[in-house]
């Protein structure tokens, strides 16, 4: 008898559990996705690539000047233009869609830690093919960071090294490769891809909004949060890995590069035009629109506040993240925690509100 | 009570005894009855129903005279050998075909001693990987023909790595040409048909070595009850110079192929998935999929209870646990096979060939491993040689292999694997 009673109880339980909770009925989302894509393409993405390509052209010019006439002066100019181009790259790195995706721009431009031993062996043998996936950690800005700052202890010794044919050839190859990729991506955006991108304004998984918002979050989560802060501070390993910082060899630019990246991320979220105070249709506006439509809280406020909290945590850090990890890693971890909070706000809450599915999974790890 | 008992038997039969039938279909046909039965089953469907109670400890530790009776050092050794072999596949600067073969055979091919491993203990060991590949009592004792074909297949993947991949490692791979492909920030090295030999080898070894030894050999009654094992176990007769009975040791050896490389072998679930690159790793991966959470504990509990049952001389309890382990570990292989085919399909749609071929290479190995599963009802593998060969051929058999395969084929293979089990392609595929 007891069994029969429990049978009915559990029957009732199953029924109760399975009754659908039902999402609150949402009003139709008529946000102008098309206008947002136009704002992204014309006021943010293309101008950012133009600035990047122009900084890369300057870097190439100073590379030519250096290899023609190596001196501490031309080396200083080259380093300066390297930093300008590296900083400009932080504003385009998140747009790994279309032409950038098809050439794997980020992987061929900014993979670190760079493999110094492999670079040395390429320099020594002169035998390398920078289009091979296996060479991504021997090229790009991190490889230049090593060549320009890490090949010897003093600037005078570095100058001697880089003046030799083998190093100077490799230096030029690296810069040419960056130049080729940047101009290829820019010319495709200025060609047909801009219209392809803007006209794909639907809300399917392959639409431009869904894809770019995924790329944006992937960048924020993997490159910015994990790559720049989380991995060096040991969040993903048993001990901190200070030699995984961006700008390891130049020693003083990791924070500057980080800030450029975070600012670009925030500006994209706000729809802020490149190097201007004007704003246009954006994720921020989209979230605000949805909150008014559904009379719910405006998530964009929480996200922007969290961006500010992250900025303020990062402002506590030394310019050289290597030094920061070695001297007081807890500040790195605090910065990581603030960045992580926005992963949750965006990856869970924002994606749900925008009705966008995450299209990437955490790598299998093997 | 009688009704509920027969309903229970019916439902247990539906659930446990016939994994080949599609459970969902049956339930929709007679929905109210099925729900009632489900409720009953939830309450009473216990695999040990009707069997005597056996006390099981909470960890895998057993003692006699205050000394541990647990021993599986041979399994730990083979897992460690397989780990070194796995890394050596992509060590382009140092590896040769001869070295890989020495690691596989732990001899020079003529029975002479070799020292291919970095770990000196492995060099001094007399054991080898190869001797236990496709070497189980249940599947291969009377099928040495297939066994030797399988061993030769593993050696051919080694040869392929050296002869096809190494010379082309600094070329971009294209259809018909070996070389490298980008998979995110990783580089994958594939043959002319897109297959990574190292993945084919290691994922096939999960079936060919670990699973085969575990489910088709050490958990086989033919091994557990061989010779006078039962009488000796009943009488407490210990193996020569050991603190365990032979039957206890056989069960431990099964355990060792899953947990033998754990830091804490008695309570290995806290580090599940990171103890090795083989069966432990993929039990961990499946456990990490919400659709299958709990499976690791189920397998672990069954291993403990079965071992306790041997101590308690309750052989029906032991065999019931063996069946659970055989079923569940076979499912792990099948779930991962489907998972990689489905992941490969998504990557192919996005034209990410490096990512896709890496997934398909892992899937290839897991499909190859299906041959070494064990269906406790049939007492044989879930998949015949012909079935496995057909799937491999569908996946990889065309001129350019993975470069030619399409989503329809990947879905068809996935469905045919899932059809043998109680999971769906969708559950396994994400």
The helix (H) or strand (E) run that includes residue A161 is: helix A155-163
Residue B327: per-residue pLDDT: 98
* Closest Cβ opposite residue A133 in set B39, B43, B354: B354
Q: For chain A, what is the domain count?
A: 1
Task: Give the residue on A whose Cα is nearest the Cα of B203.
Answer: A366
How far is the alpha carbon of B181 from chain A, nearest alpha carbon, in Å? 6
Contact criterion met (CB below 8 Å) for A171 and B212: no
**Mean pLDDT of the A87-111 span:** 97
Has residue A80 been placed in a domain?
Answer: yes
Which residues of chain A neighbour B40 with C-beta distances below 8 Å?
A: 7
* Closest Cβ opposite residue B185 in set A11, A107, A366: A107
Which pLDDT tens digit goes with each residue over B369-391?
A: 999 999 999 999 999 999 999 99
Confidence of residue B109 (pLDDT cuts 50, 70, 90): confident
Has residue A147 been placed in a domain?
Answer: yes
For residue B358, give the nearest of B370, B336, B343, B368 by alpha carbon.
B343
Cα Rg of chain A (Å, integer): 24
For residues A94 and B12, which has the higher predicted lDDT (pLDDT)?
A: A94
**Mean pLDDT of the B412-428 span:** 98
> In this model, does residue B414 exceed pLDDT 90?
yes
B39 with A136: Cβ contact below 8 A: no
Which pLDDT tens digit goes with each residue over A197-245?
A: 999 999 998 999 999 999 999 999 999 999 999 999 999 998 999 999 9
Q: Is the dihedral of CA A285, A289, A290, A292 positive or negative?
A: positive
> What mean pLDDT value characterizes chain A?
92
Task: Give the residue on A whose Cα is nearest the Cα of B336.
Answer: A364
Please, is B207 exposed, middle or buried when counting C-beta atoms within 10 Å of its C-beta (0-12, 13-18, 19+)? buried
Residue A355: per-residue pLDDT: 94
> What mean pLDDT value characterizes chain B?
91
Has residue A248 been placed in a domain?
Answer: yes
CATH of the domain at A111: 1.20.1420.20
For residue A361, give the nearest of B158, B285, B210 by alpha carbon.
B285
Domain assignment of residue A86, given as a range: 30-354
**Mean pLDDT of the B80-92 span:** 96
* High-pLDDT (> 70) share of chain B, %: 89
> In this model, does residue B8 exceed pLDDT 80?
no
For residues B129 and B126, which has the higher predicted lDDT (pLDDT)?
A: B129
Which residues of chain B neighbour A366 with C-beta distances below 8 Å?
A: 277, 281
Which pLDDT tens digit goes with each residue over B274-313?
A: 999 999 999 999 999 999 999 999 999 999 999 999 999 9
Cα separation, B26 vs B21, in Å, equals 8
What is the CA angle B429-A361-A344, rounded to 5? Answer: 130
Cα separation, A204 vs A202, in Å, equals 6
Enumerate residues 95 to 114 of chain A having a beta carbon within 8 A of any beta carbon in chain B.
Answer: 104, 107, 111
A111 with B185: Cβ contact below 8 A: yes
A133 with B277: Cβ contact below 8 A: no
> In this model, does residue B21 exceed pLDDT 70?
no
Which residues of chain B neighbour A132 with C-beta distances below 8 Å?
A: 170-172, 180, 187
Has residue A138 been placed in a domain?
Answer: yes
* High-pLDDT (> 90) share of chain A, %: 89
> In this model, does residue B24 exceed pLDDT 70?
no
* Closest Cβ opposite residue B184 in set A129, A131, A363: A363
Has residue A359 been placed in a domain?
Answer: no
Cα separation, B240 vs A211, in Å, equals 66
Confidence of residue B3 (pLDDT cuts 50, 70, 90): very low
| B182 close to A (CB below 8 A) | yes
Cα separation, B102 vs A297, in Å, equals 66
**Mean pLDDT of the A116-142 span:** 97
Residue B154: per-residue pLDDT: 98
Has residue A253 been placed in a domain?
Answer: yes
Confidence of residue A366 (pLDDT cuts 50, 70, 90): low
List, in order, residues 6 or more apart from A133 with CB less than 8 Å away: A107, B180, B181, B182, B183, B186, B187, B354
Which pLDDT tens digit goes with each residue over A303-361?
A: 999 999 999 999 999 999 999 999 999 999 999 999 999 999 999 999 999 999 998 87
Query: What would the DSSP string read from start to end of A264-309?
Result: HHHHHHHTBPTTSS-B-S-HHHHHHHHHHHHT---HHHHHHHHHHH
Q: Is the dihedral of CA B240, B242, B245, B249 positive or negative?
A: negative
> In this model, does residue B25 exceed pLDDT 70?
no
**Mean pLDDT of the A26-31 span:** 80
Cα separation, A308 vs A105, in Å, equals 29
B182 with A133: Cβ contact below 8 A: yes
A131 with B172: Cβ contact below 8 A: yes
Residue A266: per-residue pLDDT: 98
Confidence of residue B430 (pLDDT cuts 50, 70, 90): confident
* Closest Cβ opposite residue B35 in set A4, A14, A364: A14
Which residues of chain B neighbour A7 with C-beta distances below 8 Å?
A: 4, 36, 39-40, 43
Pick from B43-57, B224-238, B344-358: least confident: B43-57
CA A263 to chain centre: 11
């Amino acid at each position: 008898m007891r069994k029969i009673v429990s049978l009915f109880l559990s029957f009732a339980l199953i029924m109760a559990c399975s009754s659908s909770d039902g999402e609150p009925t949402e009003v139709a989302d008529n946000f102008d996705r098309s206008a947002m894509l136009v704002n992204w393409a014309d006021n943010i993405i293309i101008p950012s690539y133009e600035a990047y390509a122009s900084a890369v052209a300057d870097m190439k010019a100073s590379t030519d000047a250096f290899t023609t006439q190596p001196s501490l002066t031309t080396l200083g100019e080259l380093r300066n233009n390297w930093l300008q181009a590296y900083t400009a790259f932080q504003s385009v790195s998140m747009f790994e869609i279309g032409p950038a995706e098809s050439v794997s721009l980020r992987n061929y431009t900014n993979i670190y830690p760079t493999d110094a031993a492999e670079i040395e062996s390429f320099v020594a043998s002169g035998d390398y093919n920078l289009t091979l996936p296996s060479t991504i950690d021997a090229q790009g800005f991190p490889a230049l960071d090593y060549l320009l700052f890490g090949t010897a202890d003093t600037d005078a010794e570095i100058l001697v090294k880089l003046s030799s044919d083998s190093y100077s050839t490799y230096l030029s190859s690296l810069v040419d490769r960056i130049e080729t990729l940047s101009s290829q991506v820019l010319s495709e955006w200025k060609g047909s891809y801009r219209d392809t991108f803007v006209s794909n304004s639907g809300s399917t998984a392959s639409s431009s909004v869904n894809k770019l918002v995924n790329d944006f979050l992937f960048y924020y989560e993997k490159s910015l949060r994990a790559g720049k802060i989380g991995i060096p501070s040991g969040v993903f390993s048993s001990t901190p890995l200070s030699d995984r910082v961006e700008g390891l060899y130049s020693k003083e630019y990791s924070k500057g590069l980080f800030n450029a990246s975070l600012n670009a991320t925030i500006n994209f979220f706000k729809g802020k035009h490149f190097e201007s105070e004007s704003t246009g249709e954006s994720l921020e506006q989209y979230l605000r629109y949805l909150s008014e439509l559904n009379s719910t809280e405006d998530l964009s406020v929480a996200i922007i506040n969290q961006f500010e909290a992250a900025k303020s945590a990062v402002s506590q850090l030394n310019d050289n993240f290597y030094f920061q990890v070695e001297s007081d890693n807890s500040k790195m971890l605090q910065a990581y925690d603030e960045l992580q909070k926005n992963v949750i706000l965006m990856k869970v809450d924002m994606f749900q509100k925008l009705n966008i599915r995450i299209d990437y999974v955490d790598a299998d790890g093997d | 009570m009688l009704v509920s008992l027969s309903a229970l038997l019916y439902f247990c039969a539906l659930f446990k005894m016939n994994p080949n039938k599609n459970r969902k279909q049956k339930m929709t046909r007679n929905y109210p009855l099925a729900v009632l039965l489900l409720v009953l089953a939830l309450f009473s469907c216990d695999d040990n129903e009707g069997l005597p109670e056996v006390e099981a400890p909470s960890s895998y530790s057993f003692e006699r005279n205050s000394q541990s009776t647990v021993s599986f050092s041979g399994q730990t050794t083979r897992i460690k050998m397989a780990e070194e072999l796995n890394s050596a596949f992509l060590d382009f600067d140092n590896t040769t075909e001869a070295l890989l073969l020495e690691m596989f055979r732990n001899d020079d091919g003529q029975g002479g001693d070799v020292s291919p491993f970095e770990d000196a203990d492995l060099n001094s060991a007399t054991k080898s990987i190869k001797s236990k590949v496709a070497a189980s009592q249940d599947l291969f004792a009377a099928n040495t023909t297939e066994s030797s074909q399988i061993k030769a297949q593993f050696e051919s993947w080694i040869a392929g790595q050296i002869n096809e991949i190494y010379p082309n490692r600094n070329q971009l791979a294209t259809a018909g040409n070996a070389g490298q492909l980008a998979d995110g920030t990783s580089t994958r090295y594939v043959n002319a048909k897109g297959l990574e030999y190292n993945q084919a080898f290691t994922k096939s070894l999960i079936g060919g070595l670990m699973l085969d030894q575990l489910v088709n050999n050490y958990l086989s009654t033919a091994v557990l009850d061989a010779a006078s094992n039962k009488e000796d176990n009943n009488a407490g007769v210990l193996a020569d110079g050991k603190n365990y009975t032979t039957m206890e040791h056989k069960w431990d050896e099964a355990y060792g192929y899953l947990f033998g490389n754990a830091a804490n072998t008695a309570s290995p679930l806290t580090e599940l998935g990171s103890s090795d690159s083989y069966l432990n790793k993929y039990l961990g991966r499946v456990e990490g999929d919400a659709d299958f959470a709990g499976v690791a504990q189920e397998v672990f509990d069954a291993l403990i209870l079965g071992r306790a049952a041997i101590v308690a001389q309750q052989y029906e309890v032991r065999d019931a646990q063996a069946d659970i382990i055989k079923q569940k570990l076979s499912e792990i292989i099948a779930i991962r096979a489907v998972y990689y085919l489905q992941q490969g399909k998504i990557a192919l749609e996005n034209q990410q060939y490096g990512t896709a071929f890496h997934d398909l290479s892992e899937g290839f190995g897991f499909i190859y491993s299906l041959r070494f599963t064990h269906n406790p009802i049939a007492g044989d593998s879930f998949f015949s040689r012909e079935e496995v060969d057909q799937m491999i051929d569908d996946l990889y058999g065309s001129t350019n292999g993975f470069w030619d395969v399409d989503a329809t084929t990947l879905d068809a293979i996935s469905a045919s694997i899932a059809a043998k089990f109680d999971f769906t392609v969708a559950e396994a595929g994400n």
